Structure formats: C-alpha cells, structure tokens
Structure 1
Amino acid sequence: MDVEELLSALDPDQRRVAEHLRGPVVVRAGAGTGKTRAITYRIAHGVLVGAYEPTSVLAVTFTARAAGEMRSRLRDLGAHGVQAQTFHAAALRQLSYFWPHAVGGPMPQLQEHKAGLVAQAAGNLGISVDRTTIRDLAAEIEWSKVSLAGPEHYAEKAQATGREAVAGLTHERIERLISAYEEAKSARGVIDFEDILLILIGIMAERDDIARQIRHQYRHFVVDEYQDVSPLQQRVLDHWLGDRRDLCVVGDVSQTIYSFTGATPAYLRDFRARFKDAAEIELVRDYRSTPQVVDVANKIIAPGRLAGSVKLVAQRPSGPSISYQDYEDDDAEAKDIAKRIVALRERDVLLSEIAILVRTNAQSQAIESALSAAGIGFTIRGGERYFSRREVREAMVMMRSFARSGVDATMPDTVREVVGKLGWSRDAPKAAGAQRERWEALNALVTLADDIDRARGADLAGFVAELEERAATQNAPTIEGVTISTLHAAKGLEWDAVFLAGMSEGLMPISFAETPAAVDEERRLLYVGVTRAREHLHISYARARAASGRGNRKRTRFLDGIWPETENVSRATRNRRRSKEMATEFELNHPDDVALLNDLKAWRTVQASDERKPPYMILVDTVLMSIASSKPATIQELGRVKGIGMTKLDQYGSAILHVVDGHR
C-alpha cells in the first residue's frame, strides 16, 4: 500500500491529522467524526514513510477493549509492532521490567480489588461498613490517589473541590481511613492499580538512567480520549515525554462524563496554553448519525458548551424523526419499547444493532421482563463476561488443538466445524432463553472468523491468537441481541437504534447532581447517549414508577425546547394562543394578506409532513402573519421578522420568499 492509497480513505480534516507526523498536535473530535480512524491512519502513515519505528510508538487509551481494537486496526493497516495500551498496562509492563534494577527482589503482588483492605482499614478505625459503603469508600480512595491528593491532603482537596463526603463520614474521617488503608496494604506487601503509576513516577524521578531508557524506547505518543485524563495519568505522561514534544492528543470536552473518578478536561482544553505552537485540528463531520440525531445532540450540549468543544455537522442522509414519548409508568414504558423493537426487527434491523440505555442499573429490571415476555434476546453490558462463558472457553480449547494438528481447511470452515461440535447450527433457535444465548455466543465466533478472514486472511493459529488477546482485554465480539446498558458504559459504542429510557428529573440529571458542575456533567452524559444512535432514536420517560403510583415525574430539563409540547399544552394555554392569533389575524384586513397567509400555512403543512413534525414546530401562526403583513423581499428583510431566528432562516428562508413572491 502506498501513501496516497492509505490517505485517500480519509476526509480532508482526518487527512490533516494523518499527515501531521511531528510536534505537538491537539485534535478536537466530536462524536462520530472518526477520531480513532484518524489517529490509527496517522500512526500507519508514519510507519509507512519511515518517520516512526513501530516499536517507538506508544498509543494510550482508557480501556483494554479500546486498546485491543486499536491494535487490531493497526495490524489491518500493516503497522505491526506498535504498542497500544492503557496507562496502567503500559506502566505495569515498564515497572515489571525495571523493578529488579530499581528496587530489587520480587515485585509486590497486585491487589486487583480494594474491598478486603478497605474493610480491614475501617475495622481498625471502628467504622461500621456494609458492602455498599465499602464500594463507595474504595472509590473515594481511588479518587484521592488519581487526584494526587494523598492521605495527608485528601480532606483539604475534597473540600476545595466541593466533593461530598460519603457514607456519612467527614472528610477528616475518610482521610484517616485512607491512611489506615495504606498501612493495611503495606502490611500485606501488596500494591493496587494506582500504585503502579505512582511507583513508576517515583522511579523515573529518582533514576535518570531508567527514565532515559524508557524515553529512548518510546519517542512518539498518541493519547486517545484525552478529556478523561486524571492528574495522576498526566503526571505519568509528563515523565514519559520528558522535554520532548512529539505528542498527539485526541478528545472531546463535550464527552467528559467521568469527573467523579478524577478525570478532567482541563488538559485537553488548555493544551495550547502548554504547547503554544501546537497544531490544532477539529473533526466535526459526523459520519455516524443522521441529521435528525445530530440536531438533537447539538441542541442538548449548546447551553453547557465548553471551551474547546465542537458543533457536529451531519454527513449522513436524512433519516426518521426522533421519537418522544411519555408513559403512565415504568412497565408501560418497557412494554412499548419492546413492541417498538419487534417492529424494528420486522424492518430488518438486527437486534445487535439496538440498545436500551438507562441512567442506573436499577432501571433495567422492568426492561428485562418486557423483552423476555416479547421473546427478544438481550445482553446486559457489564454482566457475565463473554470469554468466561463455558461454551466459548471450550471452543477456544478445541481450536487450539485443531491448530496444532494442522487441519487442511480454511480458517472460517474450521471454526464452523469446531462450534458445530458444541451445538451451533446455521439456523438460530427460535425461542429466547439459555439455548439461544449459547447459540448467539458461538455464532459470534463464526462472524468474527469471517470478518478477520476478509480483513487480513489469518490462519486458525492467528485466529486463536486474536481470541486470546481479546480475552485478555475483554474485547468481546458482537452477540446478536439487544444491549441493555447504562449511559456511562455505552460510551465509545454505537448502534443503529437507541432507546433512551427513564429520561426524567431525578434520573437525568440524577438526584444527587446538586452543583452546577455536576448538572453540566449529566447534560454531557445525555449528549453521549444521544450520539450513540446512528439512525433511530426514541427518548422516553414514565410519569410514575408503578401503575398505582403518583404520576409526578417530569421529563428532564435538558430536553426543554426540544421535546414536542403539543400533548402537554393545557386547554387554557391553547385558548390564549388562539385568542392572540385571532387578534393578529384581525389586523390582516387586506384580502391579499389573508390569501398570502393561507398559502404560507399550506406550505407549512407540506413542510411539516415532510419532516414528520407538528406544523407549529416549523413556524408558529404569529410569525406567518407577520410575514404576510410585511411581505419581505430579501433574506435580510425576512430575518428582521420577529420569531424567525437564524436556524429557521437557513432552513426555510428561500421557500418562504418564493411563496411571498407569488403574491407580488
């Protein structure tokens, strides 16, 4: 593959990213704009032209799954040997290598879960805890470490940032618990995940020889999802860089939804304050979503737009209108969502291309029941891990054996033979349940085998190696079934159809989001949910939790001015509007004005039908009356009509002037 062939797959802005191979670069990339594509092609371009040695590139992202996907994409582009890792995985690899030289002796065991140590620390202080409290305190310990607060500065920093104390404990009490946790950890001779980064920072700061070795190994850095960097991760990145400047960062401040974990968009927002000559490139062309979805996304984020965010520009053809619906209760909402999914399936939308997104895990119970009753298969993101399923483990064992035996068949055919021995067939079981789930899990291996064979023609041993890497990073293949997920867990994913359920005050924004910053983060979370949808988007809420409950829920404030108001307008309000319209209409004394008004209303009816909207959402009657009275001749004159607005002027200006011209 030559350079032009490689870069021809990119749009002009993505190509600018791929061609800018040196120096500091900040890419502000909106949802669906192809940011991962841009940076993987940038790396592949650098390797192809000899600007980068593959092993000198370190691409860092935030989940093992995303890192695995990036490695797979880079292999498809011929960029073998490039390291794509999470911060922790890259740091652990370096720490494991240098520990004997820097510290000596065996490296301490990594404690993957904090629960036992937190419980011990709490007991030592006489603090009564249950499972939920332990989880909350473990999260607070993690926040203190990634925020570089430390046991001695936790209370001061938590108070300064307005952080709520958890489990009914004061900040000072939690500070003492953090110290007790560190003591318990030292007594057991173990380290936690945050220690990996902290210890590596300490070694690189104290040992110039080790720092030089690491910097000699990695010379070119790419950081994806840079809006999610914590102070601790930024400190590690600073030590990796040293005084060099070959850094490319990519992110979107509008998708900052992990501030509660210590992530901050400040490093992305202020990148050019640190690197004043940095190249700055925006990716705004949204290839994922229809104009209807993009319009809603832009409107949601606009009131809380942050410095450095981008406004999306849709590239896909027009699609169906966004669907909005309120329900009597949660069960009614879940049942109607299931009914709509059945309708989508009948229109050939794959179940694996449908997701139901909720704010909290507790919301999924009614949805699971409704899907089961409708015979719709589903998976819960964050539930049983794919590679932990028995049939998947058995298939991998059998494929390893087949690979060693040197079977004379194509890789996809051999995979089909293996899973066939475990109960897979070409036709899926019709009923939902455990048998269907088992078939879906095995069929995902068949689909993945076909995809990899088309992409790079791997043999069976190569396919097994791919599966082992995916298992290590929990990068599961797609399973045919509706996905139920929280909004947080859905980040980075996309589907043809998305149902946003439970979008009411108290859930969106969540009730404990009490500060302006917390509410803004909830707004960004809804933005993330909306931008997961490619084509179909249904937004709903229930007025009551149960059929016998009081219907006092209100839809989220974030949809004010977006949610159609027709069904919620009272009779008194309608009467007031009609009286105002009649009073205005009375002023149209000339027959030509009334005739023009009627033609404008006829145009509006057609336009509303085309857009599948109520007519008033195109233009209200009072605006049409003003146009009929003033008869504007130019766009500038039309723009002076009260109530038209720039957006409506862009959308309908030419068509309105055409109607007016017919009455001159």
Structure 2
Amino acid sequence: MQVQLPGAQPFPPQDADAVLAGLDPEQRAVATALSGPVCVLAGAGTGKTRAITHRIAYGVRSGVMQPQRVLAVTFTARAAGEMRGRLRQLGAEGVQARTFHSAALRQLQYFWPRVVGGELPRLVERKVQLVAEAAARCRLRLERTELRDLTGEIEWAKVTQTVPEDYPAAARLAGREAPRDPAEIRQVYKVYEELKRDRGVIDFEDVLLLAVGVLEDRAEVAEQVRAQYQHFVVDEYQDVSPLQQRLLDLWLGPRSSLCVVGDASQTIYSFTGATPSYLLGFREKHPDATVVKLVRDYRSTPQVVHLANGLLAQARGRAAAGRLELVSQREAGPDPVYSEYQDEPAEAEGTARKVQALLAAGVRASEIAVLFRINGQSAVYEQALADLGIAYQLRGAERFFERPEVREAGMLLRGAARGSTDPLLDGAPESLAEQVRAVLSTRGFTAQPPSGSGAVRERWESLAALVRLGEEFEAAQSAAGLPADLSAYVTELDARAAAQHAPAVEGVTLASLHSAKGLEWDAVFLVGLTEGMLPITYARTDEQIEEERRLLYVGVTRARAHLGLSWALARSPGGRASRQPSRFLDGLRPGTPARAARGVGGGRGSITEGGSGRGPAAVRRNRAPLKCRVCGRVLTEAVERKLRRCEGCPSELDEGLYERLRDWRGEQARLQSLPAYCVFTDATLVAIAEDAPGSVAELAGIAGVGRAKLDKYGAAVLSLCRGESPDASAPVEGQPEEPDESDDIPDLWDEKDTGENSPEK
C-alpha cells in the first residue's frame, strides 16, 4: 500500500498557510521559494510533484502569483493532467499546466493568423507514413523496425536543431549509431521536409521550431507572451532538449522567475535529444539560484531504496556526480528477490506464479507490474499470465477516456444525471456508487468479472474502474462535506478526461522500462536482466552504458515494497545456456562481488571474475587490427569492421545480390515469426553482397556469420551468391539463439525501444 505523504489533504486548504501544512522541511523550502531562479533536485519517490504543486498553490493563495500568469510545463500529457488535477484540489485553478508541445501549439494557433495569415498548417500526428513515402522516393526499401528507427533519427535531428545537410556530421559528433547510412538518412530527411512543405502540414517538432521562429522574429509577440506568463515551472528538467531549452529561454526573456525540477539519475531519453546538462549546469547559468534537494523517499521500503542507492553508487560520468542518496521514510519490507531461470518461457511462468501468489495475499492486480527492456519481450509474459487467468493491461495502449466503452458509459451517466425522472434512475438507491453500478449494468457490468481474458475482460475492467472511481469520489466528497451525486460525479469525470487523469484499471501492468517512468506499483518484477538486454547490445560507449544503468534504476524505484529481479540463461527450452546476468547486478545480489568495470560495449562475452574469457570481446583482443580493404585505415567502428572498409570508401556492392538476400531474409523471418534482424542484420547482408563469398570458409570470414548461423543459413546464402534460388519454404529447425560467440557484431537486439511514454509522443 502506498504511504500517504505528510499532511495530504482531501480538499482545498482554507488559506496560504494551510497549503504548507504537513510538508517536510525540504518540501516546505521549495514551496516558499517564490522569487528568483529555483532548482529542485528531487530523487525518485520524494514527492517532487507535491512540492511544486504546493509551491504554485502557495504562490497563488498568498497573492504572489496570479494563476493566469503561471505556466507549468512537463513532458507527457499524463503528467500535465495529474498536475492540473492536484492544482485544482489545492484551489489553484486557472494555472496552465501543459506539455512543451501543447503550450507552443496553443500559442501558434493564437498568433499565426496575425503574424503569417490564414490558419496554422495541419498537424501530422503520425509522421511514420510520410517518412515511408520519403524513403520510397529515395528508392529505399525499409522494414517496419527500420522505418521506426529512421523516424526517430529525424526527430532527434530536429530537436537538436540539425538541418538535413548537417545530419551526418552531427550524428558522428554525437556518437549515434544510425539505423541506415547517414547519407541515406540525410536524403530521406530532406525529402520528408519537402513533402511536408508541398502538402502544407507540420509535425510535432515543427510546432516547437515554428514557435521559436515566431518569438525570435516578432518582438511584439514575445512581449505579449511574456506579459501573459510571468512565472514558469518545468518538471522533469533533466529531459529537456536543446530546442525546448531555446523555447523556454524565449518564454522567460530577461526575467528570473523560473523553477526547475529534475533528477539527473533518471535521464533515460537521450536518444530523443534529452540532456541533463541544463539541470546539472543550472547553478552555473544562475549563480544566485536557490537549490533544494529532496531525498526523503516516501514511496519505497528501505530494502528497495538500498538497492537503488547501490546501483547508482557504481555509476560514472557527469550525471553520476549529481546523484542523490535517498533515505526511505517507510518501515522495513521484504528483501528484493533475485531469480535465475533456464529459459525465457520458464522465467515468464515463474514470474506469473509469483504474481498469482501476490494476488492471493491480497495485493491488487493494478498494483503489480512486469517491466522489460523492449516491447518485444511482452508476448511471453502475456501468455504466461493468460494461462493462469490473470488479467493484464499493456502500458501505452489506447487512452482510458478514448476507449469506446468509456465514452459510451460517460454518455449514459451524463444522461442519467440530467434528472431523477430518467428511467435508469427509477427507484435508484441513495449511494452514488450504487447509482453508477445501476447505470453501467445496462451495458453489461456485473459484480463479478467475466472468466478469461481478451476484449470482454478489458471492457469489464474499464467499467469496473469507473465504479471504483465513483466509490472513491463519494468518500472524498463526504469527507469534505460536499454533495456526492451523479451530477458532481459526471463533472469530475469530465475534468479527469480533460486532464487525461485516468483511474487505475484492475489488471497487472506489462510495460517497457521507458514507459514506466513516472509510475509506481506495490510490486514490480524486472525481467530479462541479461547482458545484451540490459545493457542492451547497441549500448557501446560509456555514456550509453550509464544510461542503461539509469534505466534499471528507474525500474527499481517504481516498486514500493515487493521487488523481483530475474534473468534467463537461454532464450528457448533446450537452448544453449550462454547468457549472463546483467553486469549492473554485480555486487548487489547476494554472493556476487563488485566487479571491475567492463570494457566499453562489453556484452555477454566480456571477461568477468571466474569467467572463461570467451566471447566477442575476448575474440577481438586476440586479433590483429582490422584494416580497410580499400584505403588501409585501421577500422574501429562496429559497422566498418563488419564491412571491412570505411563507410566513406567506395562500395563494391552487388545490388542484385543484396536485394535477393533481403527478400530471402524476409521470408525466413516470416516463417520463424521473428524480426528480420534476428536472421542477419542489414550490415551483414551488405558485407555478404560486397564479398559474394563462394565457399563456406569465405562466408565464415564475414563478421556476423558465426557457427550457428553458418550451420543454419550457410547453404541458402551460398546458393543466392551463385545466383541460384534456394528453397525459401524449407523448414528451419529451432530459432536462432544469441549471436554465436565468434561473431564480431551481435545480430540480436538491434531494435531500439523508444517506449510509449517517450516525451511528447
């Protein structure tokens, strides 16, 4: 059960001093710091949202701030909705709490007719289709995952204010591992921008870029905005991008009434352009800033907090220097449980059984979460929970208030509230909750849930959430001495819908670590914690590895009391048990000493104490330097080593062979129900198409073609190289395990997971 923060109030306080009642000393310091720049360094679970909403409410109630002159910005619609709900409860209605994008869009819609003329161009909510068309015009055939990664790369370029012509150099400078050749991305990016101009549409990033352009070019517009908003609060400040910071500076102008809140240890969106540099450098930019640290953790037990602190104690880099040592305010709870399984299905089944045990012990399903690194891991856990008859919900699915059954229920409740003569209320009891049940029963709601899972159960869960919300609303209204009738309840529903403040749906949450940011549960299971998954394979630099550590930290700090951490030694039953637990658990789980730092990008095969030293890292150390076959330069980049040439050197690609290889790979992936990169990555296909090997030995010499893949696909690939057509429908025994240890560059897990809760998406 969640710990109630000190002094939490169910209804608006009577005066300014009452707003401060129950705040701890540090939260009170935040709430009363109403002048000048303020920087709040807030650890996970320390009540940062409580502190900044009480600061705004205190400023409004004390007369220092006018609510219409305050703009609070954050990064997701859900977070903005929660902030608006809290401010409303504190009697600070009228304060604008928005995402960066929605605030900028609102301003553009207002000023555009005056400064440009006509209506603002239509906003394209899903740019991926337009990117696909741009790629087709560039004669590029992209798979779904490649298209998504390319779209993300264009988004990164725009939020870092990089124009198409500068993309290759900017990506190289940032150390990004581009999903395609940077020159190809530059061209697709350029054509994408041309398509938008031709069709008179804009994307989400354009909203910020255009807002910046209008404020910079039209001084009178900037002055009007600054006259409207005189006080700014920025939540999750560690996630701002250069473009968002530029817009914030324009909003603020020469003034200093700015309060920022963040935690550098929760920076997990750098792939979108987010950077903690502005948070960590705030004191340098504002020497007179008031800095307050929130370290009292009201969310998690001492056992969970101890693990979280230990995880960050091993961190390196600038962000690590800003880490906060949390102090739990809760009573002791159970120790974190570490579990090792033989394979992924066994891990999923074991996790489902533990979930079942918690449910039997009285923990609500909505207070349990299973978190993983990438969305592709969810299927096996969905199956395991369904096999035990446990309801679940996928985080990032359709918004609650946009679900058809919720919209329909809202209309029924609204109609029923219009008068006591409504047939739905004939003879209705006085209890609000019973009235809500009576209305929803006409659409299939029952006291007991339907058996099984699927759409029927999901519909019931949505209606049950509305019933529980009615019960909670009735209790809160009664405590405040206010009426609790259907009209008031419908008004509450409308306010929540506008704020996207959804009630909890009763089902175990399945979510990626990225999408779990900002959420919390009584029990959290962190699964798939192996080398190559966390840190993920494509995290190679020190900075990327540290971000993966922070991602695990975010996962750990989602748990209030129960925390499980698990990994599987093999992917499928009977597979080679070659996986190793994540290096981030070294020295934290019982019986493991702290290890020396592994080399940059070290993966499954990196040398550890007591290990064999086998694997990619060991193989590379024993080889002579690999040189470009064209210019002779020593190759250091992963893709260059795979191609055995510099990316800029002339290619001898056999395009016909490359197309045949891609078609064959696609068919193999379809037959095995796998992502195409699990057969061979694009870089491996390019290397094969350049070399056109004529023998098994020559094919084995290509990086990415290890023993397992040579046995499985070697004959077919050599047939394609000879111009022959292999039998694409021939059965393939088993599924590819992790890349063979002789591979220089692992083929598995090339997919980048952006997460459903990525900023503004």
Q: TM-score, normalised by structure 1?
A: 0.82
Mapped to 2, the partners of 1:473 and 1:511 lie a distance apart of 38
Q: CA 1:50/1:518 → structure 2, altered by over 3 Å: closer, same or farther?
A: same
Aligned to 1:596: none
Segment of structure 1 superposing worse, 250-259 or 154-163: 154-163
Mapped to 2, the partners of 1:352 and 1:199 lie a distance apart of 41
Q: CA 1:9/1:440 → structure 2, altered by over 3 Å: closer, same or farther?
A: same
Q: CA RMSD in A?
A: 2.0
Aligned to 1:449: 470
Equivalent residue letter for 1:479: V
Match of 1:320 among 317, 326, 334: 334
Tell me how far 1:474 sits from its aligned partner.
4.5
Question: Is residue 289–residue 534 contact of structure 1 (8 Å, CA) maintained in 2?
Answer: yes
Match of 2:586 among 556, 560, 578: 560
Question: Is residue 28–residue 309 contact of structure 1 (8 Å, CA) maintained in 2?
Answer: no
- Name the one with the larger helix percent: 1
Aligned to 1:662: none
Mapped to 1, the partners of 2:44 and 2:414 lie a distance apart of 39
Aligned to 2:51: 38
Tell me how far 1:232 sits from its aligned partner.
0.7
Aligned to 1:58: 71
Mapped to 1, the partners of 2:455 and 2:197 lie a distance apart of 45
Match of 2:86 among 73, 86, 96: 73
Aligned to 1:193: 204
Tell me how far 1:561 sits from its aligned partner.
0.4
Equivalent residue letter for 1:185: K
Q: CA 1:106/1:435 → structure 2, altered by over 3 Å: closer, same or farther?
A: closer
1:182 aligns with 2:196: no
Q: Which ranges in structure 1 are unaligned for 5 or more consecutive residues?
A: 574-664
Tell me how far 1:461 sits from its aligned partner.
4.6
Aligned to 2:718: none
Match of 2:507 among 451, 469, 481: 481
Equivalent residue letter for 2:79: A
Tell me how far 1:393 sits from its aligned partner.
1.8
Aligned residues: 567
Mapped to 2, the partners of 1:382 and 1:10 lie a distance apart of 33
Mapped to 1, the partners of 2:468 and 2:351 lie a distance apart of 28
Q: CA 1:207/1:454 → structure 2, altered by over 3 Å: closer, same or farther?
A: farther
Question: Is residue 228–residue 265 contact of structure 1 (8 Å, CA) maintained in 2?
Answer: yes
Aligned to 1:270: 281
Question: Is residue 488–residue 525 contact of structure 1 (8 Å, CA) maintained in 2?
Answer: yes
Tell me how far 1:310 sits from its aligned partner.
0.8
Q: Which ranges in structure 2 are unaligned for 5 or more consecutive residues?
A: 1-13, 594-608, 611-761
Equivalent residue letter for 2:99: T
1:513 aligns with 2:539: yes
Equivalent residue letter for 1:361: N
1:244 aligns with 2:265: no
Match of 1:285 among 296, 313, 318: 296
Equivalent residue letter for 1:140: E
Aligned to 2:389: 375
Match of 2:522 among 488, 493, 496: 496
Cα shift readout 1:390-436 (whole Å, capped 9, x = no counterpart): 32121011122223446786654442222122122333345545443
Match of 1:142 among 143, 155, 158: 155
Mapped to 2, the partners of 1:181 and 1:52 lie a distance apart of 44
Question: Is residue 370–residue 508 contact of structure 2 (8 Å, CA) maintained in 1?
Answer: yes
After superposition, where does 1:531-542 map in structure 2 within 5 Å? 531-542=557-568
Aligned to 1:218: 229
Tell me how far 1:465 sits from its aligned partner.
4.7
Match of 1:439 among 429, 452, 460: 460
Match of 1:100 among 107, 113, 119: 113
Aligned to 2:168: 155
Mapped to 2, the partners of 1:118 and 1:400 lie a distance apart of 42
Question: Is residue 104–residue 211 contact of structure 2 (8 Å, CA) maintained in 1?
Answer: yes
Equivalent residue letter for 1:134: L
Equivalent residue letter for 2:187: R
Secondary structure, counterpart of 2:574 in structure 1? coil
Cα shift readout 1:281-338 (whole Å, capped 9, x = no counterpart): 0000001000100010011111215232211111111101111110111111111111
Question: Is residue 330–residue 546 contact of structure 1 (8 Å, CA) maintained in 2?
Answer: yes
Mapped to 2, the partners of 1:389 and 1:404 lie a distance apart of 23
After superposition, where does 1:10-49 map in structure 2 within 5 Å? 10-49=23-62
Tell me how far 1:462 sits from its aligned partner.
5.0
Equivalent residue letter for 1:25: V
Equivalent residue letter for 2:473: I
1:3 aligns with 2:16: yes
Mapped to 1, the partners of 2:487 and 2:192 lie a distance apart of 45
Equivalent residue letter for 2:281: D
Q: CA 1:368/1:299 → structure 2, altered by over 3 Å: closer, same or farther?
A: same
Aligned to 1:203: 214
Mapped to 2, the partners of 1:466 and 1:177 lie a distance apart of 46
Match of 2:441 among 400, 416, 420: 420
Mapped to 2, the partners of 1:406 and 1:137 lie a distance apart of 57
Question: Is residue 226–residue 249 contact of structure 1 (8 Å, CA) maintained in 2?
Answer: yes
Aligned to 1:604: none
Tell me how far 1:131 sits from its aligned partner.
2.4
Aligned to 1:550: 576
Segment of structure 1 superposing worse, 99-108 or 399-408: 399-408
Question: Is residue 84–residue 499 contact of structure 2 (8 Å, CA) maintained in 1?
Answer: no
Q: TM-score, normalised by structure 2?
A: 0.72
Aligned to 2:618: none
Task: Give the % identical residues.
Answer: 56
Match of 2:308 among 281, 288, 297: 297
Equivalent residue letter for 1:338: A
Cα shift readout 1:582-638 (whole Å, capped 9, x = no counterpart): xxxxxxxxxxxxxxxxxxxxxxxxxxxxxxxxxxxxxxxxxxxxxxxxxxxxxxxxx
Secondary structure, counterpart of 2:293 in structure 1? strand
Mapped to 1, the partners of 2:229 and 2:132 lie a distance apart of 40
1:118 aligns with 2:131: yes
Secondary structure, counterpart of 1:485 in structure 2? strand
Q: CA 1:95/1:460 → structure 2, altered by over 3 Å: closer, same or farther?
A: farther
Mapped to 2, the partners of 1:94 and 1:462 lie a distance apart of 32
Mapped to 2, the partners of 1:498 and 1:452 lie a distance apart of 27
1:389 aligns with 2:442: no
Match of 1:310 among 309, 324, 338: 324
Question: Is residue 57–residue 87 contact of structure 2 (8 Å, CA) maintained in 1?
Answer: yes
Tell me how far 1:504 sits from its aligned partner.
0.7
Question: Is residue 255–residue 527 contact of structure 1 (8 Å, CA) maintained in 2?
Answer: yes
After superposition, where does 1:594-609 map in structure 2 within 5 Å? none
Secondary structure, counterpart of 1:36 in structure 2? helix
Mapped to 2, the partners of 1:420 and 1:468 lie a distance apart of 21
Mapped to 2, the partners of 1:292 and 1:281 lie a distance apart of 25
Question: Is residue 64–residue 475 contact of structure 1 (8 Å, CA) maintained in 2?
Answer: no
Aligned to 1:346: 360
Equivalent residue letter for 1:145: K
Tell me how far 1:134 sits from its aligned partner.
1.9
Question: Is residue 296–residue 327 contact of structure 2 (8 Å, CA) maintained in 1?
Answer: yes
Segment of structure 1 superposing worse, 471-480 or 115-124: 471-480
Equivalent residue letter for 2:168: A
Q: CA 1:314/1:185 → structure 2, altered by over 3 Å: closer, same or farther?
A: same
Q: CA 1:243/1:225 → structure 2, altered by over 3 Å: closer, same or farther?
A: same
Tell me how far 1:273 sits from its aligned partner.
0.5
Mapped to 1, the partners of 2:592 and 2:250 lie a distance apart of 58
Mapped to 2, the partners of 1:487 and 1:292 lie a distance apart of 20
Q: CA 1:460/1:233 → structure 2, altered by over 3 Å: closer, same or farther?
A: farther
